[in-house]
């Protein structure tokens, strides 16, 4: 099945699933309240957004300089920096490190880039034991699913479903108390931290000035992943750079506010090297893998370059009426919601993924909420335009040619309208079925009746 028919079929199922829609709405209601309170606590939220947008513009529009500075600083403190153009190269680099270390087990903290390159599959295929340590990621890993949401991977599951999963996969006792369920995961993972050979993390920001990565989290799992295993690997997209360390004074609260409605998340940690002389713990070796994977192609599209400003807060997903109704898995992509619909065609092919840009109400809620001012809903329109320009649709072109032909010939037009008035009542009999020429529209909607009299006729006959 093609990606588009898969999307359509799944979207139809999900929009009809009222339980799911209600559950997601409820889960996001509290987020909306706390997020708004946090935004209000800023002295000047619009100013903060503008500053963040400009800082990311600086970072992305001088990306070459910042990356060189970032890599040089890291290398000067003993970190090994790797560059990967493709997902396959990134997997090879990581597999080679794992083989060199003769590693058997890997503990991972949340990294969407690792989902993007399907790292877990590659590691498991190579015979390694891989465990996700973020609670939400662990839950979807045990279910053999992809994350539902880039910030809340397991937000689609009820506590009962999670309890059942833990009983089946972890041999845990039955409980539907969120606290007890969390403690089951805590106990299960403790041993893994202490015995894992390799720790793999992502990064939220890469600081060019000082050669540091910054990891934002709540659970402490990334802190442990970066403290206990002997070898640490961090995988990040090249667009993660920020010019200066103190830019974080704005970006950390911005990300927390929009991501989860917190003032700051529990742990925001900067790493600038492996264990240094005189330090008593931390990894002996640290590898940083910089991933392109079509990001430079998005960079080359100056019109949509700002999509690389994204800090992956997930705020646009949370406000999107499409996401809230079709759910995260329907997209079939690593990055879902508005930002996913904008960037996936660039990362994975415009023609195969253009349908995501049409699954939009163009309400602009995403653009309005984005903390770094990405012009999301206009980029959806640009994707549609680019896709049509690249590969025009025969059906659409023919339809418009026929319309133009008829509309330019009043006699033909009037004849057509008269016929339509006569035959429209018959449409009711076949509405939505295979016989209905307007099936795609009328399956879920009514065709309004054609006016009994045209405007021209009314004007002529008026008293």
Q: Residue 13, interface with other proteins (CB under 8 A)?
A: no
Q: Residue 364, interface with other proteins (CB under 8 A)?
A: no
Report CA 171 to chain centroid distance, whole Å: 32
Contact between residue 207 and residue 251 where contact means Cβ atoms under 8 Å apart: no
Residue choice 115, 116, 132, 306 for contact with other proteins (CB under 8 A): 306
- Whole-angstrom Cα distance, residue 95 to residue 133? 20
Q: Residue 351, interface with other proteins (CB under 8 A)?
A: no
Q: Residue 263, interface with other proteins (CB under 8 A)?
A: yes
Least separation in angstroms between residue 301's CB and other proteins is 8
Closest to other proteins by CB, 78 vs 432, is 78
Q: Residue 95, interface with other proteins (CB under 8 A)?
A: no
One-character DSSP codes across 223-290:
HHHTTSSSEEEEEEEGGGEES-GGGHHHHHHHHHHHHHS-SS-SEEEEE-SSSPTT--SS-SEEEEEE
Closest to other proteins by CB, 123 vs 181, is 181
Q: Residue 273, interface with other proteins (CB under 8 A)?
A: yes
Q: Residue 203, interface with other proteins (CB under 8 A)?
A: no
Interface mask toward other proteins for 60-89; x: CB under 8 A: xxxxx--xx--x-----x-----xxx---x
Q: Residue 146, interface with other proteins (CB under 8 A)?
A: no
Q: Residue 155, interface with other proteins (CB under 8 A)?
A: yes
Question: Please, what sign has the CA dihedral across residues 334, 340, 341, 346?
Answer: negative
Q: Residue 106, interface with other proteins (CB under 8 A)?
A: no
Q: Residue 292, interface with other proteins (CB under 8 A)?
A: yes
Q: Residue 142, interface with other proteins (CB under 8 A)?
A: no
Q: End-to-end CA distance of the chain, in Å?
A: 60
**Binding segment for other proteins among 42-50, 118-126, 313-321, 451-459 (CB under 8 A)?**
42-50
Q: Residue 189, interface with other proteins (CB under 8 A)?
A: yes
Q: Residue 368, interface with other proteins (CB under 8 A)?
A: no
Closest to other proteins by CB, 11 vs 165, is 165
Residue choice 25, 159, 168, 409 for contact with other proteins (CB under 8 A): 159
Least separation in angstroms between residue 14's CB and other proteins is 19
Alpha-carbon distances, residue 142 vs 111, 145, 170, 186 (angstroms): 17, 8, 9, 15
Query: Residue 105 belongs to what H/E stretch?
Result: strand 105-108
Residue choice 21, 51, 80, 431 for contact with other proteins (CB under 8 A): 51
Considering only residues 315-334, where is the footprint of other proteins by CB under 8 A?
none
Contact between residue 71 and residue 290 where contact means Cβ atoms under 8 Å apart: yes
Contact between residue 361 and residue 51 where contact means Cβ atoms under 8 Å apart: no
SS (H, E, C) 173-230: CCCCCHHHHHHHHHHHHHHHHHHCCEEEECCCEEECCCCEEEEEECCCHHHHHCCCCC
Residue choice 296, 397, 418, 424 for contact with other proteins (CB under 8 A): 296
Q: Residue 288, interface with other proteins (CB under 8 A)?
A: no
> Exposed, middle or buried by CB within 10 Å (0-12, 13-18, 19+), for 414?
middle
Least separation in angstroms between residue 428's CB and other proteins is 45
According to DSSP, the residues that pair with 239 across neighbouring strands are: none
Could you tell me how many residues of this chain bind other proteins (CB under 8 A)?
111
Considering only residues 401-420, where is the footprint of other proteins by CB under 8 A?
none
Least separation in angstroms between residue 270's CB and other proteins is 4
Residue choice 3, 7, 31, 205 for contact with other proteins (CB under 8 A): 31
Q: What is the DSSP letter of 306?
A: G
Contact between residue 84 and residue 290 where contact means Cβ atoms under 8 Å apart: yes
């Amino acid at each position: 099945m093609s990606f588009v028919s898969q999307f359509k079929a799944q979207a139809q199922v999900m929009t009809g699933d009222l339980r799911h829609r209600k559950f997601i709405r409820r889960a996001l209601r509290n987020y909306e309240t706390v997020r708004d309170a946090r935004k209000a606590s800023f002295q000047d939220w619009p100013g903060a957004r503008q500053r963040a947008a400009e800082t990311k513009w600086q970072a992305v529009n001088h990306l070459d300089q910042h990356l060189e500075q970032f890599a040089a600083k890291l290398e000067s403190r003993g970190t090994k920096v790797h560059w990967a153009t493709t997902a396959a190269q990134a997997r090879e680099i990581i597999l080679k490190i794992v083989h060199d270390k003769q590693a058997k087990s890997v503990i991972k903290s949340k990294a969407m880039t690792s989902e993007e390159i399907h790292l877990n599959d590659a590691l498991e295929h190579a015979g390694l034991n891989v465990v996700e340590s973020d609670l939400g990621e662990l839950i979807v890993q045990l279910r053999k699913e992809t994350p539902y949401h880039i910030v809340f991977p397991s937000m689609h599951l009820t506590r009962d479903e999670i309890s059942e999963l833990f009983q089946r996969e972890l041999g845990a006792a039955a409980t539907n108390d969120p606290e007890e369920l969390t403690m089951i995961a805590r106990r299960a993972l403790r041993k893994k931290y202490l015995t894992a050979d390799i720790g793999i993390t992502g990064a939220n920001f890469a600081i060019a000035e000082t050669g540091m990565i910054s990891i934002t989290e709540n659970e402490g799992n990334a802190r442990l992943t970066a403290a206990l295993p002997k070898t640490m690997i961090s995988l990040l997209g090249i667009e993660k750079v920020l010019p200066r360390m103190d830019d974080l004074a704005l970006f950390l609260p911005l990300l927390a506010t929009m991501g989860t409605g917190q003032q700051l998340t529990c742990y925001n940690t900067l790493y600038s090297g492996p264990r240094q002389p005189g330090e008593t713990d931390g990894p002996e070796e640290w590898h940083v893998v910089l991933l392109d994977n079509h990001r430079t192609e998005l960079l080359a599209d100056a019109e949509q370059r700002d999509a690389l400003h994204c800090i992956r807060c997930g705020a646009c997903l949370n406000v999107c009426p499409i996401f809230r109704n079709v759910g995260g898995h329907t997209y079939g992509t690593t990055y879902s919601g508005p930002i996913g619909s904008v960037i996936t065609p660039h990362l994975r092919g415009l023609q195969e993924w253009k349908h995501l840009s049409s699954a939009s109400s163009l309400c602009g809620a995403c653009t309005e909420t984005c903390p770094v001012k990405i012009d999301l809903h206009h980029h959806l329109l640009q994707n549609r335009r680019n896709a049509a320009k690249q590969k025009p649709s025969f059906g659409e072109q023919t339809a418009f040619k026929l319309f133009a032909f008829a509309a330019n010939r009043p006699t033909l037009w009037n004849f057509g309208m008269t016929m339509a008035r006569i035959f429209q009542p018959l449409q009711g009999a076949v509405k939505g079925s295979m016989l209905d020429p307007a099936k795609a529209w009328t399956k879920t909607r009514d065709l309004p009746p054609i006016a009994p009299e045209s405007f021209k006729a009314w004007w002529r006959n008026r008293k």
